[in-house]
Structure 1
Amino acid sequence: MAARAATRSAARIPQVAWNEARPAPVVLVSGPEELLAERAIRRIRETLAAADPSLEVSDLDASSAVPGDLTTLASPSLFGEPRLIRVAAVERLSEAFLNEALRYLEAPDEGATLVLRHGGGVRGKKLLDAVRGGAGGGIEIACAEVKRDADRSSFAAAEFRAAGRRVSPGALRVLVSAFQGDLGELASACQQLIADTAGDIGEGTVQTYYAGRMETDAFAVADAALAGRGGEALVLLRHAIDSGADPVPIIAALAAKLRAMAKVLDARGQAAKIAAEHGMAPWQVDRARRDAAGWEAAGLGRAIVFTAETDERVKSGARDPEFAVERLVRLIARRGETA
């Protein structure tokens, strides 16, 4: 029994991250996150083409494949060029493709790289089990859906890092909050900022470009609450949450603004001087001063403490995170004064 278990363990294929994709005789690209899958497959193609520009690239739809399609594409040509066969829709594969692919795994063609794109679901399990069990000597690139804000922030940070650009944590927070939907939209927003701007990327830059995407997001809620418009802030908050916004970025936006206000509340002098002392931009000092108008130090302190407590409750799985954030918004709209 122990020997069989060891054999099964040894037969499991390597799991490779999408941004470290590499060629192998068989590459299973699984999971629903299409953007990551496309990038992984493109990376494999670029690696193969860099090694040999004569690379032949062929595409095959597994749902409509007929007997002989895969064998024909994988077979070496007269001049023996390397071959890349990209197979789409493996989650809807035809019986003909399943049978031919299982036979192919027994002896993959030398010089061929077979990429199997499976978007999810149970269909094609027999083929997936064979690949994952080690048949064909393959690897798997799992492209799970990117849902959590932390993962989306890591993705965006990697986009800027790959381009040699620095981006502030606040800018990442605003960007992720503005693009809560399709990961491709977030990637496009990152690429636009990289292409259209120079130097470090801060919150102001992101807000300038994507203010229209943020009308009911974290910073709109924060702005309304800080201005004392409690009713408006609550409406915006409920709309944002009903639209799928995570409460955590909303709390983070409030916390960031309150911290900036604390830095300038009793500061005197020109914005440029205060900015240099606190690592802020002059426009951030001006904005924080406007936000802090009418606030007392005691109320601001209470708001900062309550924000930290709310953040901890929500992140630790509060039973009603929306209600916790509503209480925080009400307190801030009252400038830290308890009811």
Structure 2
Amino acid sequence: MTPAARPSAGADWRDVPLAPVVLLFGPEEFIASRALDGLRRKLRDQNQELEITTLDAATYSAGTLGMVASPSLFSEPKLIEASNLSSMSDDFLADALAYLSDPAPDVTLTLMHGGGTRGKRLLDALKAAGVPRVDCLALKKDQEKSAFVTAEFQLARRRIDAQAVRALVAAVGANLSELAAACQQLIADTTGMVDSDAVDKYYGGRVEATAFRVADAALAGNAPVALSSLRHALATGVDPVPLVAALAMKVRQVAKVHSARGSSAQLGRDLGMAPWQVDAARRDAGHWTAEGLAAAIQALAEADAQVKGAARDPLYAVERAVTLIATSARR
């Protein structure tokens, strides 16, 4: 590539730059798909006659890349999407290295690598050439998922409050594609500011959302609401295991911030929490003494073992833990 064709590496998956070659690297298929969709839109905006070809690097045959990259009869621009680079054949590695030294004009080659070290020579060559690399990494922390939700609403020029973001991540945050779909549904089906009531209307029946409500009420010392929410959940068949897990997560967060000093942003970085999680945990921490937290942690450890088979009545075990926690907190 010529120096003028060398964009900076580390590209944003929401705005992939146009370049002769682009690397999508990482295991999160949803982010890779969104990045590729955005790149297709950009190229089609330039020319509706864009020709798209897909290649599987794992089953690739020598010479195919050069053939599909060669000019067509009417010289339409081309997008070549090569997937499965983490299982690439030796033929693909050789052809891709050769192609990188002399990319075809009016062709965009996207290389999708799921992670790992397979094809390290190619990865090193792409880095040396300044090829833009889009990291497609799984969003594992609630802080990352919360930022994702906020960005989805900002792109749609809509607002969602912090409590609603928290509730949505708690309800559907396990899978990024589901979380994105939930954002789009709320954007399409609501008007104005999206609040936690709107999230509860659409997703309140999910196990995660139910656990979220029980845990919030228990940590705040609101025993009537915590127990009524819990009994409704258990009566409708909710497994007690995620309920205990949600309570444990909440108690751990309160314990982390109980004696901590510093800004929400600083503590969030130090403790691996989002700033709004720090703020919420601090509010709950006001209801607790160190001794009360120790008792709650002990009760949850016992409940966790009981709901996983150590007790004959796991439903009673989780209700006892919720009662103990909710009545130990100071109103």
TM-score of the two chains, using structure 2 as the length reference: 0.70
1:110-149 aligned within 5 A: 110-134=105-129, 137-149=130-142
Query: Which stretch of the first structure deviates more once superposed, 13-22 or 100-109?
Result: 13-22
Identify the match of residue 241 of structure 2 among 239, 242, 245. 239
**Match for residue 226 of structure 1 among 222, 225, 229:** 222
Structure-2 residue corresponding to 1:172: 165
Give 1:220 shift: 2.4
Distance 1:16 1:35 in 2: 16
Structure 2 CA distance for aligned equivalents of residues 44 and 115 of structure 1: 9
SS at match of 1:334: helix
Q: Report SS of the residue matched to 2:14.
A: helix
Cα shift at 1:45? 1.0
Which amino acid in 1 is paired with 2:121? K
Contact 1:216–1:240 (8 Å) recurs in 2: no
CA RMSD across the alignment: 3.8
Indicate how the Cα distance of structure 1 residues 119 and 93 shifts in structure 2: closer, same or farther if over 3 A, else same.
Answer: same
Q: Residue 209 of structure 1 corresponds to which residue in structure 2?
A: 202
> Where does the alignment leave 5 or more consecutive residues of structure 1 unmatched?
1-10, 253-301, 314-318
CA gap of 1:84–1:245, structure 2 versus 1, over 3 A, is: farther
Cα distance in 2, alignment partners of residues 150 and 248 from structure 1: 15
SS at match of 1:165: coil
| 1:181 corresponds to | 174
Aligned to 2:286: 305
Indicate the larger mover: 125-134 or 241-250: 241-250
SS class of match (1:132): helix
Measure how far apart 1:193 and its partner are: 0.8
1:81 matched to 2:76:
yes
Q: Is 1:159–2:152 an aligned residue pair?
A: yes
Q: Is the 8 A contact 2:217 2:326 kept in 1?
A: no
Q: Which residue of 2 aligns with 1:22?
A: 17
> Does residue 327 of structure 2 align to residue 334 of structure 1?
yes
SS in 2 for 1:173: helix
| 1:249 to partner: Cα distance | 9.5
Q: Pick which of 140-149 and 218-227 moved more.
A: 218-227
Amino acid paired to 1:218: F
Letter in 2 for 1:247: M
* Change beyond 3 A, Cα 1:47–1:206: same
Q: CA deviation at 1:77?
A: 1.2
Deviation of residue 128 (structure 1)? 1.2
Q: Please say if residues 287 and 330 of structure 2, whose CA atoms lie closer than 8 Å, have aligned partners that are also in contact.
A: no
Which 10-residue stretch deviates more, 205-214 or 236-245? 236-245
Q: Which amino acid aligns with 1:219?
A: R
| Distance change >3 Å, CA 125–CA 309, structure 1 → 2 | farther
Whether the aligned pair in 1 keeps the contact of 2:288 and 2:329 (CA below 8 Å) is no
Contact 2:159 2:192 in 1 (8 A): yes
Once residues 200 and 177 of structure 1 are traced to their aligned partners in structure 2, the CA distance between those partners, rounded to angstroms, is 19
Give secondary structure in 1 for the equivalent of 2:204. helix
Partner of 1:4: none
CA distance in 2, matches of 1:33, 1:245: 29
C-alpha separation between the residues in 1 aligned to 2:288 and 2:197? 23
Q: Give 1:100 deviation, angstroms.
A: 0.8
Aligned equivalents of 1:61, 1:244: Cα separation in 2: 42
* Shift of residue 184, structure 1, vs aligned partner: 0.5
Q: Which amino acid aligns with 1:239?
A: V
Contact 1:177/1:245 (CA < 8 Å) preserved in 2? no
Larger radius of gyration: 1
Cα offset, 1:98, TM superposition: 1.1
Structure 2 unaligned blocks of 5 or more: 1-5, 255-282, 305-320
Structure 1 residues 72 and 238: CA distance shift in structure 2, 3 A: same
